[in-house]
Structure 1
């Protein structure tokens, strides 16, 4: 396990964030990345997201801390991360993408680092700003989110060896695939619920007749 969180893996992750074109390229061609480290970054993003909603000053947030369910949000972030990876892999397999599932997982996971950083920094800064300084807080969070999205875009482009246009088209189809997967999961969940209800009714009928 130590090799996945070695100093070299951490250093290369930060190198990838500062040099995404080269970093993501060598992740695909020399296995320089780490999937467990990418997943850890997603978990850290979930923690920073929930902490921001719970602890950010009332000056910048109107969220009621009592309405925040950190455990549910943690599961939601992990599920969304898995959904993006599976959807993109499914789509790119049909569009001559060179990236493997692990490459996609690393590309998406590493892209959350800037967002986690600005969420943590924004939460701290929110307690020291006045009401008229709120736009600086919004700008900080916006910059981190945009940077993270750009990192993910470059990561997908590099691991699949796509052009920018094809990458954007692939991401749009990935979004549609995510909707299809969600629909199928809801349909399956509903079907399983009906089967369970049917079996339970039969069991109850048998109990009453005996």
Structure 2
């Protein structure tokens, strides 16, 4: 199952995105693609935790004592899920050809440069000077640009859209993600208020009885 071909395929996708995403949609084993996607997401979450915990003080702006590993995982997983849900919901209305699992796979494969380029800096950042931090910021910017480019190619291929329609869809997806985040915050705020209200009533009843 884990042949050299399988291990090399994610690299092939990010280096040859047009052919790679085409194979990802039409020619590859969906279960295997999903497994690679989940592993990539886990690796990105792990990289995020290690970066905040072990990066050198030159580039690390976080206080490791305040770090919450669960929240660091959520900061990676939730935006990916929000993107996939929002993108699938919109493209269903816009005659997109991609299924939810294909959107998830294409999104996770696009995350690979963030893992490959950020992971070495966890250790390199401990031996660089302030002047050399420029290379870190350049690498980070390059990884983000590469990620956005792969997202664009992946969306265009998965949904069989034109470039202009792909850009429009991605912009609308970001707006939809913001709307989803607002609804989630509103929901949790209402739940918190309900719990507080029930707690106050319980305390009043307890004190009077």
Provide TM-score, normalisation by structure 2. 0.87
Q: 1:65 to 1:22 in 2, by over 3 A?
A: same
1:192 aligns with 2:191: yes
Q: Aligned with 2:57: secondary structure?
A: coil
1:203, CA displacement in angstroms?
5.7
- Report the more deviating stretch, 101-110 or 46-55: 46-55
Separation in 2, partners of 1:57, 1:12 = 32
Q: In structure 1, the residue corresponding to 2:132 is in which secondary structure?
A: helix
Deviations 1:76-110 (A, max 9, x none): 21111111110110111111110110111001111
Q: Which of residues 16, 20, 23 in structure 1 aligns to 2:20?
A: 23
Partner residue in 1 for 2:98: 99
1:75 aligns with 2:80: no
| Unaligned segments of structure 2, at least 5 residues | none
Alignment of 1:1-210 (within 5 A): 8-33=5-30, 34-199=33-198
CA distance in 1 between partners of 2:56 and 2:123 (Å): 9
For 1:82 and 1:156, locate their aligned partners in 2 and report how far apart those are by CA, in whole Å.
Answer: 15
Partners of 1:70 and 1:202 in 2: CA distance: 35
Shift of 1:43: 1.4
The alpha-carbon distance between structure 1 residues 12 and 178, as it changes in their structure 2 partners (threshold 3 A), is: same
C-alpha deviation, 1:127, in angstroms: 2.3
Gaps of 5+ in 1: none
